[in-house]
Amino acid sequence: MAAPRTQRQKQVLDYIIRFLERRGYTPSYAQIANHLGVKSRATVHKHIKALVRLKLISIRDENGMFRITVMADSEPEVAPIAVPVLPFPELLCEVRYEGRIAAGQPIEVVEDDMTIAMPRFMLGNLRPEKAYALKIVGDSMIDDHICDGDIALIEQRTEAHDGEIVVALIDETHATLKRLYRRGAEIELRPANSDHVALRIPAGQVRIQGIFRGLIRSSH
């Protein structure tokens, strides 16, 4: 298999591989540019095209979904990595990543100074600074097609209607993703999995931190 022809190409390829292994989805052009210390996304695009020509990565359309694949090396135990991406950086926007959230039992949200590239159409009229992303842990929302490992897009809001899927902060320490229903002086946080039971919590102990707007999912 060919090798990168320049140091910059090697830096881009190494960064994409490390990013995929760590997060399960591809970095945006902005993230690659930041890693390289350059301002121009056109520069990143040039290196990506060079890696495609060298057959070190591929970008293709499968059933209407574009994928970038890091090609396997000569070692048989190393498999190709493929995840959905959009081919044009202007169709992406950056939202902050705020850690993991349970779709099972509540766990503490782990804050981190990172961003995630999201398709702009998912945000609609929502400004990126009014949204954030969380990685789903657990399977209690699986009947709503929210699965372990998914990246959830959350609109930052403090109010919700009954039946909406919310990020609920419990006792100011733990957060969970559930459907919210008001039951008098209590809040019911309902899972979407018959193997899990609903949480009934005094309303004063629950604070809404956001509304679920959509998700992205790795293909591997």
What digits encode the pLDDT tens for the residues 110-131?
Answer: 555 678 888 788 888 889 999 9
Helix boundaries (H) for the chain: 7-23, 29-36, 41-53, 120-123
Complete domains list, the chain, with CATH: 7-87 (1.10.10.10), 92-216 (2.10.109.10)
32-67 confidence digits (pLDDT tens)? 888 888 888 788 888 888 888 887 877 654 443 445
Looking at per-residue pLDDT, the higher value among 126 and 83 belongs to 126
| Cα gap 9→12, rounded to integer Å | 5
User: Please, what's the b/e burial string for 197-219 (b: 16 or more CB within 10 A of its CB; e: otherwise)?
Assistant: eebebeeeebbbbbbbbbbbebe
Q: What is the pTM of this model?
A: 0.60
* Cβ atoms < 10 Å from Cβ of 93: 22
Residues 94 and 117 sit within 8 Å (Cβ to Cβ): yes
pLDDT of residue 5: 74
Cβ contact 49:35 at 8 Å: no
**Least confident segment among 68-72, 82-86, 141-145, 211-215:** 82-86
9 vs 186: which has the higher pLDDT: 186
List, by residue number, the catalytic residues.
140, 178
Under 8 Å between Cβ of 168 and 187: yes
